[in-house]
Amino acid sequence: MTSPELIPQLFKTEYRKIVSVLCKYFGLDQVAVAEDIASDTFLTASETWGQLQDIPANPAAWLYNVAKNKARNYLQRESLFKNEIAKNIAKTEGNPTVEIDLSPQNILDSQLQMLFAICHPSISAESQVGLALRILCGFGIEEIADAFLTNKETINKRLFRAKEKLREENISIEFPPASELNHRLEAVLTTIYLLFSEGYHSASQQATIRKELCVEAMRLCFMLTENEATNLPQVNALLSLMCFHSSRFEARINAQGEMILYEEQDTSLWDEALIHEGEYFLNRAAVGSKLSRYHLEAAIAYWHTHKEDTVEKWENILQLYNQLLLIEYSPLAALNRTYAMSKARGKKEAIAEAEKLELKNNHFYFALLGELYRDVDDKIARQHYEQALTLTRTEGDRQLMQQKLASTSRY
């Protein structure tokens, strides 16, 4: 692999590690310094490897060594070293040595601690996702702007305000105490869930699925399972849910980027390995007495990996949605419940339930009503498809609604 190919790949995997460790060392109020050092490390790699026409045997270790040296140089020339950080370094005769710990264990711990820091309740959920994408996923500002359907200036301002808030609150990069862990973990899981959802139901005009967002969400969740304090049932349930959903990625979109509805998917494209991973983490989640939304959503996703289209399957899904709505109501879950009802108990009952929701600004609502009325009253079905078409946000969804209109009789 050549330098131009390798460096972007390493940036995605190593940038976040370097930033997290440096922030833990410097303090969260110096996150901009940590980001600058990490970015400068990759710039040095690009310049050096290109000139030498040779890549080090262990590129990651080379990056870590350069980052350490840059951190030392920074500390030596800044008053920060004399006034703040030097107090925390063991005193030695002569020049003190600066040890930046980039061991695998400290890298893992630093990333997890950073995750808890940026998911602090003092900043909004939207800003938490943005910071996670920037600091822990190595996304550029333009990529984050695309994910949020906004511009780089807006994202820069949002991230700046979030960092200022963390600085004002004097948030430390550390695990919360045991008494606060469950409460703080909820915010972390919500951030990961929102990140995955943004990828799975992408609002991007160019993509129906943003796999890279889903992969990053799964990676962050997997890190939580690697730590004894956060390897909890709800964490495993969320990871299970994401595995099940990800297993159907290749079947959800055709070669033209168009959405393929569940009942029309080629099940041979489902990823059996990811389905088994989902089952593994769902079994790990089946301990304790607490039933979270992630348990129920994972169980729903599990039943969706069953290829047989039986009444029993859909009745199980329907009952799980009933439990989910009691724990945490959401319009999307209520909408999905009506589809399960149509499969388990028929369209007539499902139409009555769906029309009660009145989600007038949601294109999925009208698309579902179009499906429910299809072959029952095609005139009404077309009206709903047309309404859904006016509300779609992605090209893939527009194409799907146009196909549905074309295949529905003109009464």
Give the pTM.
0.84
Mean pLDDT of 233-240: 98
Residue where a domain terminates, one of 90, 122, 139: 90
Question: Quick check: is 99 in a domain?
Answer: no
pLDDT at 281 over 90: yes
HSE-up of residue 145 (Cα within 13 Å, Cβ side): 11
- Kindly state whether residues 409 and 342 are assigned to the same domain: no
Which residue range forms the structural domain that includes residue 319? 308-358
Answer whether 385's CB lies under 8 Å from 367's CB. yes
- Kindly state whether residues 85 and 14 are assigned to the same domain: yes
User: Residue 309 is which amino acid?
Assistant: D
Name the token pair of 198: 């943004």
- Kindly state whether residues 9 and 74 are assigned to the same domain: yes
- Kindly state whether residues 333 and 371 are assigned to the same domain: no
pLDDT at 261 over 70: yes
Q: Which residue has the higher pLDDT, 50 or 34?
A: 34
Q: Which residue has the higher pLDDT, 356 or 29?
A: 356
In this prediction, residue 91 carries a pLDDT of 44
- Kindly state whether residues 322 and 386 are assigned to the same domain: no
Question: C-alpha angle 406/338/255, rounded to 5°?
Answer: 40
Question: Quick check: is 28 in a domain?
Answer: yes
In this prediction, residue 94 carries a pLDDT of 45
Overall number of domains in the chain: 3
What does 367-406 look like in DSSP terms, one character per residue? HHHHHHHTTT-HHHHHHHHHHHHHH--SHHHHHHHHHHHH
Q: By C-alpha distance, which of 106, 101, 112 is closest to 227? A: 112
Question: Quick check: is 82 in a domain?
Answer: yes
User: Residue 332 is which amino acid?
Assistant: L
pLDDT at 402 over 60: yes
Mean pLDDT of 360-385: 93
Q: Coil, helix or strand for 171?
A: coil
Percent over 70 (pLDDT), the chain: 91
In this prediction, residue 202 carries a pLDDT of 61
Read off the pLDDT band of 81 (50, 70, 90). low
Question: Quick check: is 287 in a domain?
Answer: no
Residue with tokens 């973990």: 185
Q: Which residue has the higher pLDDT, 276 or 1?
A: 276
Q: What is the pLDDT of residues 311-328, one digit of tens each?
A: 999 999 999 999 999 999
Q: What share of the chain is helix, strand, coil (3-state, %, to 5)?
A: 70, 0, 25
Residue where a domain terminates, one of 336, 358, 380: 358
pLDDT at 90 over 60: no
Question: Quick check: is 95 in a domain?
Answer: no
Q: What is the pLDDT of residues 37-52, one digit of tens each?
A: 999 999 999 888 876 6
pLDDT at 221 over 90: yes
The Cα 284–Cα 282 span in angstroms is 5
- Kindly state whether residues 347 and 366 are assigned to the same domain: no
- Kindly state whether residues 18 and 34 are assigned to the same domain: yes
Q: By C-alpha distance, which of 251, 150, 269 is closest to 209? A: 251
Read off the pLDDT band of 333 (50, 70, 90). very high
pLDDT at 352 over 90: yes
What does 180-225 look like in DSSP terms, one character per residue? HHHHHHHHHHHHHHHHHHHHHT---SS-S--HHHHHHHHHHHHHHH
Mean pLDDT of 48-68: 86
In this prediction, residue 85 carries a pLDDT of 58
In this prediction, residue 147 carries a pLDDT of 72
- Kindly state whether residues 354 and 365 are assigned to the same domain: no
pLDDT at 150 over 90: no
Question: Quick check: is 268 in a domain?
Answer: no
Mean pLDDT of 195-209: 67
Residue where a domain terminates, one of 72, 90, 108: 90
- Kindly state whether residues 405 and 394 are assigned to the same domain: yes
- Kindly state whether residues 315 and 380 are assigned to the same domain: no
Residue with tokens 């869930």: 193
